[in-house]
A and B are shown apart, each in its own frame.
Chain A
């Protein structure tokens, strides 16, 4: 049964987030011939609209307003509600990001609707959309469906393929005047802790360090390995607590949840709170000098050894490999 689907896209550092393009893949699967629309909201975001068309949106609705420069629940919910009312979708798909999970919960309450959060797998049968999401920090999975009404779904980054970019694709782009009033929270300042470059939660490769790195200075050696692989650097809570790196890099039950193609854990013992944030990664490599470290229980490949010896060799080896490929 075909369905009208609206993708709520998200712009970060003046770029569409990958998860928004992944949401278009999901939209195609769910729509089954029904119309695929996308919403873009923010300040000076109109130029991003065509990109959504190239990835499969048939219609893009843009809400461009100064008041949407920073995320506020009130501002974003008002703008998106206007777009939802125009688009009249059966299903709304957003990324399970700081903004996506927050604003969809607010909108779902407003629409008295069901929301399934953090999907990692979606199946469509005749009637229903069956959505699977990790529960208990990835120790189990629950498959749910929404019984009635408009269906809200957020998807976990990196779990659905991005479609092919097609610059010949055509679609309508429409700007609407969003009416934003009475913002009850005001963002006074944003202190950027995250560096530009590869977004940790969306990275295909994550190189993560733990207490085994022993100092902030040593921690930087992970940058080289991540750079060679086009990946991002992450950390265990231990490394953050020891001030080897900023908390914005923390992966785990608190901190970010990542599911990259390749996760390289360097000097991380692998407490359950850490594996909660990375155990669903496709391929996990662990380097640790303690053969009993828990991290080896979740790893596909393990090297018992001194990371200060192994990591530079690994960086060099990958460098040669990528050089030979290019």
Chain B
């Protein structure tokens, strides 16, 4: 099976967000978007079961090589980094159209991505790409079984479980619960350094920057208003509870 994994490099959740002049300062730790780790793990398991190849693809700047090497150490066979520098107002429209151009001349059976990235959390790229490639998609999957061209899936829909049948080629997006992503072992980290990693730019995909200019523009980025320090209640338990109910009644429009 020919499996492709869509990856994104994201800010580590533990990082403090600092905004200067409407721009987010980007000197913190970066990680593989956690949902993409499920995608990589599932791709590797499916390849081990059915044979074939796992290719990981990341659209971003050169720094993304680090995350791609990690994916190779987890078991992917080859990697592509598509450089998106110089694209104006880069957004989900841009990503999905760059990826659509990348896939245009490639044969694939299955594309797996994370269902959402933890930075902008839109969940758009998977469904958008499937539409551009004219293939079906199933979002937020928690289980996938492939036999021949038939695919049986379970997906999470706001807590309910939907059992879905589809066929290849297919695009799916991973939800928590799909698997437990492995930690790469040291020997595999060494091996990953020798695996093929190719850097492409838009020219290589016959794209101009204007073709993938974003449809949205960021006007401003702000931090949430500083929350006042919370108030810790004191005294006897019953008194605290009565005080709490009084405070909540005044503050929240629920009672």
* B188 at interface by CB-CB < 8 Å: no
A145 to B219, Cβ gap below 8 A?
yes
The SS class assigned to the A binding surface is mixed
Contact A247 B220 (CB under 8 A): no
B193-235, CB under 8 A of A: which get 1 and which 0?
A: 0000000000000000000001111111111100110111100
Contact status of A139 and B17, CB under 8 A, knowing A102-B127, A313-B238: yes
Q: Are B19's CB and A140's CB within 8 A?
A: yes
Could you tell me if B128 and A185 are in contact, using CB atoms closer than 8 angstroms? no
Compute how far the CA of A323 lies from the CA of B51 in the bound complex, rounded to whole angstroms.
Answer: 65
Docked complex Cα distance between A136 and B238 (Å): 39
A86 within 8 A of B: no
* Interfacial residues of chain A within 300-326, with CB under 8 A of chain B in the complex: 300-305, 309-310, 313-314, 317-318, 321-322, 325
Say if the beta carbon of A276 comes within 8 Å of chain B.
Answer: yes
Q: Mark B168-206, 1 if CB is under 8 A from A, else 0.
A: 000000011100000000000000000000000000000
Number of A-B contacts defined by CB within 8 Å:
258
Q: In the complex, which of the residues A115, A185, A201, A205 contacts B164, with contact meaning CB atoms closer than 8 Å?
A: A185
Tell me whether A105 and B123 are in contact (CB under 8 A).
yes
Q: For the complex, is A298 an interface residue (Cβ under 8 Å from B)?
A: yes
Assess the A187–B222 pair: CB atoms within 8 A: no
Count A interface residues, CB 8 Å: 97
Q: Is B119 an interface residue (CB 8 A)?
A: yes
Chain B binding surface SS class = mixed
CA distance A140 to B214 in the complex (A): 21
Q: How far is the CB of B234 from chain A (nearest CB, A)?
A: 9
Nearest Cβ in chain B — how far from A84, in angstroms? 14
| A109→B164 contact, CB < 8 A | no
A105 touching B127, Cβ below 8 Å: yes
Question: Could you tell me the distance in whole angstroms from the C-beta of B172 to the nearest C-beta in chain A?
Answer: 10
Among B119, B241, B255, which residue has its beta carbon within 8 angstroms of that of A303? B241
Looking across the interface, which residue of chain B has its beta carbon closest to that of A192? B160
Q: Quick check: B219 and A143 within 8 Å, CB to CB?
A: yes
Binary CB contact string for chain A from 64 to 79 against chain B (1 if under 8 A, 0 otherwise): 0000001101100100
Q: How far is the CB of A254 from chain B (nearest CB, A)?
A: 4
A253-269 CB contact bits vs B (8 Å, 1 = yes)?
Answer: 11110000110000000
Q: A304-B232, A314-B244 known; A130 and B219 CB under 8 Å? A: yes
A residues near B135, Cβ cutoff 8 Å: 184
CB-defined contacts of A273 to chain B, threshold 8 Å: 13
Tell which of B214, B222, B237 touches A313, judged by Cβ atoms closer than 8 Å: B237
A31 at the interface (CB under 8 A from B): no
Asked if A296 and B13 make an inter-chain contact with CB atoms under 8 angstroms apart, the answer reads no
Is the pair B232, A302 in contact by a Cβ cutoff of 8 Å? yes
Given contacts A144-B218, A272-B14, contact A193 B230 (CB under 8 A): no
A142 touches B220 (CB 8 A): yes
B162 touches A137 (CB 8 A): no
Q: Could you tell me if A186 and B176 are in contact, using CB atoms closer than 8 angstroms?
A: no
8 Å CB contacts to B: which residues of A85-136? 97-99, 101-103, 105-106, 108-110, 112-118, 130, 134-136
B242 close to chain A: CB less than 8 A: yes
Contact status A297-B230, CB under 8 Å: yes
**Besides the contacts A247-B159, A256-B158, A301-B247, what 18 more A-B pairs have beta carbons closer than 8 Å?**
A98-B140, A98-B157, A101-B122, A106-B131, A114-B215, A142-B120, A143-B222, A147-B217, A185-B165, A201-B158, A205-B252, A249-B159, A256-B159, A283-B252, A298-B227, A299-B230, A300-B251, A314-B244
Sampled A-B contacts (11; CB under 8 Å): A71-B157, A102-B127, A105-B124, A112-B215, A117-B123, A144-B216, A189-B162, A190-B163, A284-B230, A300-B230, A317-B244
Interfacial residues, chain A to chain B (CB-CB below 8 A): 70-71, 73-74, 77, 97-99, 101-103, 105-106, 108-110, 112-118, 130, 134-149, 184-194, 200-201, 204-205, 229-231, 246-249, 253-256, 261-262, 272-273, 276, 280, 282-286, 291, 296-305, 309-310, 313-314, 317-318, 321-322, 325
| 10 closest Cβ pairs, A-B complex | A248-B159, A114-B215, A184-B136, A105-B127, A117-B122, A109-B128, A109-B131, A254-B176, A105-B124, A191-B161
